[in-house]
Amino acid sequence: MLRLFKKSGKTSPITISSLIIIFIGIFSLMMLLIWNNNPPVNDEKKIYYVDNISSSHKHVIDRFNQIHKGEIKVEVINLSFEKFSTNERKELLARYLRSKNDKIDVFSADQIWAHRFARWAEPLDKYFNGNDRKAILPNALQACLYKDQLVAVPFFMDIGLMFYRKDILQKLPDYQNIEKELNESITWEKFIKLGEKFKNSKNPFYTFQADNYEGLMCSYIELLENQNKSLFENGKIQLTSQESEKALNLLVDLVNKYHISPPNVTEFKENNSYHYYIQNDGLFVRAWPNFPRDYTSIFGKDPKMNEIVKVPMPHFSGYKPVAITGGWNLMISKYSKQIPEALEFVKFLMSEEAQKIMYEEGGFLPTNNSIYNDTSYTSKYPDLKFYKKYLQDGIHRPYLVDYTRISDVITHFIQLAIKKEISVKDALQRAQDLINNEKFNIN
């Protein structure tokens, strides 16, 4: 990405490429060490799985290995989110698969990677029939298709949410009315008016993530799609529309006009925004479903977490509420020499047993329909009723081969606008010109 902006004199054009080379070296060394230290025993087939391995991931992998002891064993390559950003994971995997190396069998892929990684993935149509597909949440399955071919299967879902501190909001005399509006998705217009009541408070009213990364892109696309406007139209990126300006103006104005979001949101990705929000007794924060677990696992238990409540994201007046979806899919490398065993593992990860473990221990939203339709289970975990309904309002980011490069350009200029270093119109025009004039392969 930095190569695109080397004329500004603010960055070194070799920084990203140098880091990627280092990461590739580390990644290759990890693979070699695992392979040498764990050679296959007897007839047991080993498959290698690349992902961010949480404790719940480890649990389901151990369970699979127990069931298939002596037949199949899964070895993990842990690309932790604490060490690798999403884009770094993408580049590591892409470069490794491009070499046609057969040491990776199964890997997790961000929903928006399916089109990019389809060329290296085993086609899955023949392994998943109509009934198999009906068992999957429709909007999760949509992210697994490339040219009407199934190239991935969904592992877990994500969706944009807002959390608030109930103990702080309850101090307002009209709390019950506000709570009702929040639960039904409050309008941005009313949300901003609510923020005015806290203007003189030291508590940050609304914390969101505006670092130059994909989380900022999610906020922007959500606001754009909320106005029934698409980012990609007629074969080109469309950034200079009235709707696009309205979306970006809101992000800029939250910080610079209404002053209900702190200026340092431009330094925040998820985890540091969560830490700032909790430590500074913030009122509202944009987050994802596993925010409570993520915070506790990184920063430890905090009694304030007992006071947070999740609600839908706000929406523009006159439009239906929407929320950006995310999540991770599973793909099988077409260079794998263990396709049947890899497939067995993938199908286990999609099973009710594995998905329940992932949800109960890690907060990962299931993609298996039967879990949401199991009334005895949803009675035990009522949050699933909320998510089943909320996911119906979910919208996807564009499915483009070069989506991540396009996103890098857009978030660069959006962040500059939020920092008030350039105007909204200039940010959108410059991003659009750069993307469309560079003739990116967007198909």
Domain residue limits, the chain: 2-157+326-395, 159-324+401-437
pLDDT tens by residue, 335-393: 999 999 999 999 999 999 999 999 999 899 999 999 999 999 999 999 999 999 999 88
Q: Pick the closest to residue 102 from 342, 345, 338 (CA basis).
A: 338
Architecture of the domain whose range is 2-157+326-395:
3-Layer(aba) Sandwich (3.40)
From the number of C-beta atoms within 10 Å of its C-beta (0-12, 13-18, 19+), residue 349 rates as buried
In this structure, are residues 62 and 89 in contact, taking their beta carbons and an 8 Å threshold?
no
pTM of the full predicted structure? 0.86
Query: Would you state the pLDDT for residue 13?
Result: 36
Tokens representing residue 74 in the block: 């899964």
pLDDT tens by residue, 194-243: 999 998 888 999 999 999 999 999 999 999 999 999 998 888 889 999 99
Q: How many C-beta atoms lie closer than 10 Å to residue 417's C-beta?
A: 22
Query: Would you state the pLDDT for residue 199?
Result: 82
- Alpha-carbon distance of 80 to 76, in angstroms, equals 11
From the number of C-beta atoms within 10 Å of its C-beta (0-12, 13-18, 19+), residue 369 rates as middle
State the number of CA atoms in the 13 A half-sphere of 249 facing the CB: 10
What per-residue string of b and e applies to 225-264 under the rule 16 or more CB within 10 Å gives b? Answer: bbbebebeeeeebbbebebbebbbebbbbbbeebebbbee
State the number of CA atoms in the 13 A half-sphere of 118 facing the CB: 20
What per-residue string of b and e applies to 140-179 under the rule 16 or more CB within 10 Å gives b? Answer: bbbbbbbeeebbbbbbbbbbbbbbbbeebbeeeeeeeebb
Q: Are strands 284-287 and 145-146 parallel, antiparallel or unpaired?
A: unpaired
CATH of the structural domain 159-324+401-437, one choice from 3.40.50.300, 3.40.50.620, 3.40.190.10, 3.80.10.10: 3.40.190.10
Straight-line distance from the first to the last Cα atom of the chain, in angstroms, rounded to the nearest whole number: 20
For the chain, 443 residues long, the average pLDDT of each consecutive 10-residue run is 38 45 54 53 88 95 97 95 83 92 94 93 94 91 93 96 96 95 97 92 95 95 96 88 98 97 96 95 96 86 94 97 95 97 98 96 94 96 94 89 91 98 98 80 40
Sign of the Cα torsion 204, 81, 368, 63 reads negative
Q: How many C-beta atoms lie closer than 10 Å to residue 136's C-beta?
A: 19
Tokens representing residue 253 in the block: 């104005």
